[in-house]
Amino acid sequence: MSNKNDKVLDQNLNEKAPEQQLLMAQLLFTEKPKQADPANLQAALEKLVGTVGNISDNPEQPSYAVEKFKAEFQDSPKPIPVLASYIGPYEFSIELDDLTRSQFWDVKNGEELMNTCKYSVSAFGMLSGALHYKQQAELFLAQIEAALECYPDCRAIYVPHSGKLTLPEYFCDGRQYGMAQNFIRTAVNARFFRINNSGDMIVDTLGFYAFGAADVQLHFHGMDPNHVVEYVYNIADYQFQSEFAVKSGDTIDGVDGNGRIQPYIQWRTQYEDSLIQPIRTVLDINCGEFAAGSREDVWSEFIDPFNLNKK
Protein backbone atom coordinates (compact mmCIF):
# COMPACT_ATOMS: atom_id res chain seq x y z
CA MET A 1 0.00 0.00 0.00
CA SER A 2 1.16 3.51 -0.75
CA ASN A 3 1.90 6.03 1.97
CA LYS A 4 -0.71 8.67 2.58
CA ASN A 5 -0.97 11.47 5.08
CA ASP A 6 -3.01 10.82 8.20
CA LYS A 7 -6.25 12.67 7.78
CA VAL A 8 -9.40 12.51 9.87
CA LEU A 9 -12.38 11.71 7.69
CA ASP A 10 -15.99 12.09 8.75
CA GLN A 11 -18.41 9.47 7.56
CA ASN A 12 -22.17 9.54 7.24
CA LEU A 13 -23.67 6.41 8.78
CA ASN A 14 -27.04 7.38 7.31
CA GLU A 15 -25.71 6.83 3.79
CA LYS A 16 -27.13 3.49 2.68
CA ALA A 17 -26.10 1.69 -0.47
CA PRO A 18 -28.88 0.93 -2.96
CA GLU A 19 -29.93 -2.70 -3.18
CA GLN A 20 -28.75 -2.73 -6.78
CA GLN A 21 -26.50 -0.34 -8.70
CA LEU A 22 -25.84 0.18 -12.38
CA LEU A 23 -22.56 -1.41 -13.39
CA MET A 24 -20.72 1.34 -15.22
CA ALA A 25 -17.13 1.92 -16.24
CA GLN A 26 -15.76 5.31 -17.27
CA LEU A 27 -12.77 5.29 -19.60
CA LEU A 28 -10.81 8.47 -18.88
CA PHE A 29 -8.70 10.60 -21.21
CA THR A 30 -6.47 13.66 -20.85
CA GLU A 31 -7.36 14.83 -24.38
CA LYS A 32 -10.64 14.38 -26.21
CA PRO A 33 -10.36 11.13 -28.18
CA LYS A 34 -11.66 10.64 -31.69
CA GLN A 35 -15.18 9.25 -31.68
CA ALA A 36 -15.06 5.50 -32.24
CA ASP A 37 -16.84 4.22 -35.33
CA PRO A 38 -19.93 2.37 -34.01
CA ALA A 39 -19.27 -0.40 -36.54
CA ASN A 40 -15.75 -0.90 -35.16
CA LEU A 41 -17.07 -0.94 -31.61
CA GLN A 42 -19.69 -3.48 -32.65
CA ALA A 43 -17.04 -5.70 -34.25
CA ALA A 44 -14.86 -5.51 -31.13
CA LEU A 45 -17.83 -6.43 -28.93
CA GLU A 46 -18.90 -9.31 -31.17
CA LYS A 47 -15.48 -10.93 -30.80
CA LEU A 48 -16.24 -11.24 -27.09
CA VAL A 49 -19.98 -11.90 -26.75
CA GLY A 50 -21.19 -12.97 -30.19
CA THR A 51 -23.91 -11.36 -32.28
CA VAL A 52 -24.95 -7.82 -31.35
CA GLY A 53 -26.98 -5.24 -33.23
CA ASN A 54 -26.71 -1.48 -32.95
CA ILE A 55 -30.15 -0.03 -32.24
CA SER A 56 -29.01 3.61 -32.02
CA ASP A 57 -28.62 6.22 -34.75
CA ASN A 58 -26.48 8.45 -32.52
CA PRO A 59 -22.74 7.70 -32.94
CA GLU A 60 -22.05 9.27 -29.54
CA GLN A 61 -24.54 6.93 -27.87
CA PRO A 62 -24.30 3.53 -29.58
CA SER A 63 -26.34 0.79 -27.94
CA TYR A 64 -26.07 -2.86 -28.95
CA ALA A 65 -28.66 -5.59 -28.39
CA VAL A 66 -26.70 -8.61 -27.15
CA GLU A 67 -28.25 -11.90 -28.26
CA LYS A 68 -26.18 -13.94 -25.78
CA PHE A 69 -27.71 -12.25 -22.74
CA LYS A 70 -31.48 -12.03 -22.54
CA ALA A 71 -33.53 -10.77 -19.61
CA GLU A 72 -36.94 -12.10 -18.65
CA PHE A 73 -39.71 -9.78 -17.46
CA GLN A 74 -43.22 -10.59 -16.30
CA ASP A 75 -44.85 -8.25 -18.81
CA SER A 76 -42.83 -9.52 -21.76
CA PRO A 77 -43.93 -12.63 -23.69
CA LYS A 78 -40.32 -13.59 -24.43
CA PRO A 79 -36.83 -12.76 -23.14
CA ILE A 80 -35.37 -9.43 -24.26
CA PRO A 81 -31.71 -8.96 -25.25
CA VAL A 82 -29.90 -6.66 -22.86
CA LEU A 83 -28.20 -3.59 -24.27
CA ALA A 84 -24.47 -2.89 -24.19
CA SER A 85 -24.54 0.90 -24.16
CA TYR A 86 -21.89 3.59 -24.53
CA ILE A 87 -21.94 7.36 -24.13
CA GLY A 88 -19.19 9.75 -25.18
CA PRO A 89 -16.64 11.02 -25.50
CA TYR A 90 -17.80 13.92 -23.38
CA GLU A 91 -16.25 16.35 -20.93
CA PHE A 92 -15.41 14.67 -17.64
CA SER A 93 -15.63 16.39 -14.30
CA ILE A 94 -16.43 14.71 -11.02
CA GLU A 95 -16.46 15.81 -7.39
CA LEU A 96 -15.14 12.99 -5.20
CA ASP A 97 -15.20 13.06 -1.43
CA ASP A 98 -12.03 12.58 0.62
CA LEU A 99 -13.04 9.04 1.55
CA THR A 100 -13.19 7.95 -2.10
CA ARG A 101 -9.98 9.73 -3.04
CA SER A 102 -8.14 8.05 -0.17
CA GLN A 103 -8.71 4.59 -1.65
CA PHE A 104 -7.00 4.71 -5.05
CA TRP A 105 -4.63 1.85 -4.18
CA ASP A 106 -4.07 0.39 -7.64
CA VAL A 107 -2.77 3.53 -9.35
CA LYS A 108 0.22 5.51 -8.18
CA ASN A 109 -0.77 9.16 -7.76
CA GLY A 110 -4.31 8.18 -8.65
CA GLU A 111 -5.86 11.42 -7.45
CA GLU A 112 -3.49 13.46 -9.61
CA LEU A 113 -4.29 11.28 -12.62
CA MET A 114 -8.02 11.75 -12.08
CA ASN A 115 -7.50 15.51 -11.99
CA THR A 116 -5.70 15.49 -15.35
CA CYS A 117 -8.45 13.54 -17.14
CA LYS A 118 -10.90 15.87 -18.87
CA TYR A 119 -12.89 13.49 -21.07
CA SER A 120 -14.70 10.20 -20.59
CA VAL A 121 -16.46 7.39 -22.43
CA SER A 122 -18.99 5.51 -20.30
CA ALA A 123 -19.85 1.83 -20.76
CA PHE A 124 -22.86 0.23 -19.07
CA GLY A 125 -25.54 -2.38 -19.58
CA MET A 126 -29.23 -1.54 -19.92
CA LEU A 127 -31.65 -4.19 -18.55
CA SER A 128 -28.60 -6.17 -17.41
CA GLY A 129 -29.70 -6.02 -13.76
CA ALA A 130 -32.14 -8.82 -14.56
CA LEU A 131 -29.27 -11.17 -15.46
CA HIS A 132 -27.40 -13.55 -13.16
CA TYR A 133 -24.50 -11.65 -11.58
CA LYS A 134 -21.87 -13.65 -13.47
CA GLN A 135 -23.51 -12.70 -16.76
CA GLN A 136 -23.58 -9.08 -15.65
CA ALA A 137 -19.87 -9.27 -14.89
CA GLU A 138 -19.07 -10.96 -18.21
CA LEU A 139 -20.89 -8.29 -20.20
CA PHE A 140 -19.34 -5.50 -18.13
CA LEU A 141 -15.80 -6.75 -18.80
CA ALA A 142 -16.53 -7.33 -22.49
CA GLN A 143 -17.77 -3.76 -22.87
CA ILE A 144 -14.60 -2.40 -21.30
CA GLU A 145 -12.35 -4.59 -23.44
CA ALA A 146 -14.16 -3.60 -26.64
CA ALA A 147 -13.96 0.09 -25.72
CA LEU A 148 -10.25 -0.13 -24.98
CA GLU A 149 -9.67 -1.62 -28.43
CA CYS A 150 -11.45 1.34 -30.02
CA TYR A 151 -10.08 3.99 -27.67
CA PRO A 152 -6.36 3.16 -27.33
CA ASP A 153 -5.55 6.54 -25.72
CA CYS A 154 -7.48 5.69 -22.55
CA ARG A 155 -5.45 6.68 -19.49
CA ALA A 156 -7.50 5.09 -16.69
CA ILE A 157 -10.67 3.16 -15.91
CA TYR A 158 -12.92 4.41 -13.13
CA VAL A 159 -15.86 2.42 -11.71
CA PRO A 160 -18.14 4.81 -9.82
CA HIS A 161 -20.08 2.33 -7.68
CA SER A 162 -16.91 1.02 -6.00
CA GLY A 163 -14.57 4.00 -6.38
CA LYS A 164 -12.08 1.68 -8.10
CA LEU A 165 -9.45 3.33 -10.30
CA THR A 166 -7.23 1.13 -12.48
CA LEU A 167 -5.01 1.46 -15.53
CA PRO A 168 -5.82 -0.10 -18.93
CA GLU A 169 -2.72 -2.29 -18.79
CA TYR A 170 -3.82 -3.62 -15.38
CA PHE A 171 -7.18 -4.56 -16.87
CA CYS A 172 -5.58 -6.25 -19.87
CA ASP A 173 -3.16 -8.16 -17.65
CA GLY A 174 -6.09 -9.38 -15.55
CA ARG A 175 -7.64 -11.29 -18.44
CA GLN A 176 -5.20 -14.15 -17.86
CA TYR A 177 -6.75 -14.79 -14.42
CA GLY A 178 -10.26 -15.44 -15.66
CA MET A 179 -13.53 -13.59 -15.46
CA ALA A 180 -14.07 -13.64 -11.68
CA GLN A 181 -10.67 -12.27 -10.74
CA ASN A 182 -10.63 -9.70 -13.51
CA PHE A 183 -14.06 -8.43 -12.48
CA ILE A 184 -12.85 -8.08 -8.89
CA ARG A 185 -9.61 -6.40 -10.01
CA THR A 186 -11.63 -3.93 -12.07
CA ALA A 187 -14.84 -3.31 -10.15
CA VAL A 188 -14.35 -4.30 -6.50
CA ASN A 189 -12.24 -2.07 -4.25
CA ALA A 190 -10.55 -3.28 -1.05
CA ARG A 191 -10.48 -0.27 1.26
CA PHE A 192 -8.31 0.24 4.33
CA PHE A 193 -8.98 2.46 7.35
CA ARG A 194 -7.35 2.97 10.72
CA ILE A 195 -9.77 3.80 13.51
CA ASN A 196 -9.06 7.16 15.11
CA ASN A 197 -7.04 7.09 18.37
CA SER A 198 -6.66 3.32 18.45
CA GLY A 199 -4.68 0.49 16.93
CA ASP A 200 -7.81 -0.96 15.36
CA MET A 201 -8.22 -1.17 11.59
CA ILE A 202 -10.89 -2.07 9.06
CA VAL A 203 -10.47 -3.59 5.62
CA ASP A 204 -13.60 -4.01 3.54
CA THR A 205 -14.53 -4.54 -0.08
CA LEU A 206 -16.87 -2.24 -1.96
CA GLY A 207 -18.46 -3.50 -5.14
CA PHE A 208 -20.56 -6.65 -4.81
CA TYR A 209 -23.54 -4.66 -3.54
CA ALA A 210 -24.00 -3.47 -7.15
CA PHE A 211 -25.74 -6.74 -7.98
CA GLY A 212 -27.30 -7.30 -4.57
CA ALA A 213 -24.56 -9.47 -3.04
CA ALA A 214 -22.56 -9.01 0.16
CA ASP A 215 -19.15 -7.40 0.36
CA VAL A 216 -16.45 -8.60 2.82
CA GLN A 217 -15.28 -6.91 6.04
CA LEU A 218 -12.60 -7.47 8.70
CA HIS A 219 -12.32 -5.33 11.84
CA PHE A 220 -8.96 -6.19 13.38
CA HIS A 221 -5.74 -5.29 15.15
CA GLY A 222 -2.29 -6.84 15.29
CA MET A 223 -2.18 -8.06 11.67
CA ASP A 224 -0.34 -6.73 8.65
CA PRO A 225 -2.98 -4.79 6.67
CA ASN A 226 -1.36 -5.87 3.42
CA HIS A 227 -2.05 -9.49 4.36
CA VAL A 228 -5.63 -8.62 5.25
CA VAL A 229 -6.23 -6.85 1.93
CA GLU A 230 -4.95 -9.88 0.01
CA TYR A 231 -7.09 -12.13 2.22
CA VAL A 232 -10.35 -10.24 1.64
CA TYR A 233 -9.71 -10.29 -2.11
CA ASN A 234 -9.28 -14.08 -1.88
CA ILE A 235 -12.51 -14.43 0.08
CA ALA A 236 -14.28 -12.16 -2.40
CA ASP A 237 -13.04 -14.35 -5.26
CA TYR A 238 -14.27 -17.49 -3.49
CA GLN A 239 -17.66 -15.91 -2.82
CA PHE A 240 -18.05 -14.80 -6.43
CA GLN A 241 -17.12 -18.18 -7.88
CA SER A 242 -19.16 -20.23 -5.37
CA GLU A 243 -22.45 -18.32 -5.74
CA PHE A 244 -21.76 -16.65 -2.36
CA ALA A 245 -21.84 -19.99 -0.57
CA VAL A 246 -20.65 -18.86 2.88
CA LYS A 247 -23.52 -18.62 5.38
CA SER A 248 -23.78 -16.79 8.68
CA GLY A 249 -22.22 -18.93 11.39
CA ASP A 250 -19.92 -20.79 8.99
CA THR A 251 -16.21 -20.93 9.70
CA ILE A 252 -13.63 -20.29 6.98
CA ASP A 253 -9.86 -20.61 6.74
CA GLY A 254 -7.93 -17.70 8.25
CA VAL A 255 -4.38 -16.46 7.69
CA ASP A 256 -1.19 -16.96 9.66
CA GLY A 257 1.43 -14.33 10.57
CA ASN A 258 2.94 -14.59 7.09
CA GLY A 259 -0.37 -13.90 5.39
CA ARG A 260 -0.85 -17.49 4.23
CA ILE A 261 -4.33 -18.98 4.32
CA GLN A 262 -4.28 -21.96 6.67
CA PRO A 263 -6.99 -24.62 7.19
CA TYR A 264 -6.03 -25.06 10.84
CA ILE A 265 -7.01 -21.44 11.50
CA GLN A 266 -10.79 -21.12 11.50
CA TRP A 267 -12.62 -17.80 11.66
CA ARG A 268 -16.37 -17.41 12.14
CA THR A 269 -18.50 -15.38 9.74
CA GLN A 270 -21.65 -13.32 10.10
CA TYR A 271 -23.69 -11.24 7.67
CA GLU A 272 -24.35 -7.79 9.08
CA ASP A 273 -24.40 -4.09 8.23
CA SER A 274 -21.05 -2.60 7.27
CA LEU A 275 -19.09 -0.39 9.66
CA ILE A 276 -18.03 1.99 6.90
CA GLN A 277 -20.30 3.87 4.51
CA PRO A 278 -22.14 3.27 2.36
CA ILE A 279 -24.07 1.05 4.75
CA ARG A 280 -24.66 -2.29 3.05
CA THR A 281 -24.65 -5.98 3.88
CA VAL A 282 -21.17 -7.45 4.39
CA LEU A 283 -19.76 -10.82 5.30
CA ASP A 284 -18.03 -9.87 8.56
CA ILE A 285 -15.16 -12.21 9.47
CA ASN A 286 -14.33 -12.56 13.15
CA CYS A 287 -10.56 -13.07 13.07
CA GLY A 288 -10.25 -14.62 16.54
CA GLU A 289 -7.51 -13.15 18.71
CA PHE A 290 -7.03 -10.37 16.14
CA ALA A 291 -10.68 -9.29 16.15
CA ALA A 292 -11.34 -5.71 17.22
CA GLY A 293 -14.30 -3.78 18.53
CA SER A 294 -17.96 -4.67 18.78
CA ARG A 295 -21.19 -3.42 17.30
CA GLU A 296 -21.28 -0.70 19.97
CA ASP A 297 -17.91 0.61 18.79
CA VAL A 298 -19.11 2.37 15.63
CA TRP A 299 -17.01 5.51 15.25
CA SER A 300 -18.27 8.66 13.60
CA GLU A 301 -14.81 9.40 12.24
CA PHE A 302 -11.81 7.38 11.16
CA ILE A 303 -8.34 7.92 9.73
CA ASP A 304 -7.55 7.16 6.12
CA PRO A 305 -4.73 4.86 4.94
CA PHE A 306 -1.45 5.63 6.63
CA ASN A 307 2.26 4.90 6.38
CA LEU A 308 2.42 1.20 7.19
CA ASN A 309 6.12 1.43 7.98
CA LYS A 310 5.64 4.27 10.42
CA LYS A 311 6.50 3.44 14.03
Q: What is the CATH number of the domain that holds 68?
A: 3.30.310
Q: What is the pLDDT of residue 16?
A: 65
- Statement to judge: residues 13 and 59 lie in one domain: no
Interval 166-188 mean pLDDT: 95
Which among 110, 98, 209 is positioned nearest to 164, based on CA atoms? 110
- Statement to judge: residues 13 and 47 lie in one domain: no
Asked if the structure places residue 310 within a domain, the reply is no
Judged against a pLDDT cut of 90, whether residue 146 lies above it is answered with yes
- Statement to judge: residues 232 and 122 lie in one domain: no
Q: How would residue 9 be classed by pLDDT, with cut points 50, 70 and 90? A: low
Q: What is the pLDDT of residue 84?
A: 98
Q: What is the pLDDT of residue 309?
A: 29
Q: How many CB atoms lie within 10 A of CB 81?
A: 18
Question: Cβ-count burial of 189 within 10 angstroms (0-12 exposed, 13-18 middle, 19+ buried)?
Answer: buried
Select from 160, 179, 198 the last residue of a domain: 160
Contacts of 153 (CB under 8 A, 6+ apart): 29, 31, 33
Q: Which domain holds residue 296?
A: 8-17+190-303
Q: What is the pLDDT of residue 13?
A: 59
Q: What is the Cα–Cα distance from 103 to 197, expressed in whole angstroms?
A: 20
- Statement to judge: residues 140 and 60 lie in one domain: yes
Q: What is the pLDDT of residue 76?
A: 75
Q: What is the Cα–Cα distance from 3 to 111, expressed in whole angstroms?
A: 13
Per the structure, the count of domains in the chain is: 2
- Statement to judge: residues 284 and 197 lie in one domain: yes
Q: What is the Cα–Cα distance from 114 to 104, expressed in whole angstroms?
A: 10
Phi-psi region of 21 (alpha: psi -120 to 50; beta: other; left: phi over 0): beta
Percent of the chain at pLDDT > 90 equals 77
- Statement to judge: residues 152 and 219 lie in one domain: no
Q: Which residue has the higher pLDDT, 195 or 15?
A: 195
Judged against a pLDDT cut of 90, whether residue 5 lies above it is answered with no
Q: What is the pLDDT of residue 276?
A: 92
Q: How would residue 305 be classed by pLDDT, with cut points 50, 70 and 90? A: very low
Query: pLDDT (tens digit, 9 = 90+) per residue, 59-116?
Result: 999 999 999 999 888 777 889 999 999 999 999 988 888 888 889 999 999 999 999 9
Among 6-20, 25-39, 138-152, the range scoring the smallest mean pLDDT is: 6-20
Percent of the chain at pLDDT > 70 equals 88
Interval 261-278 mean pLDDT: 95
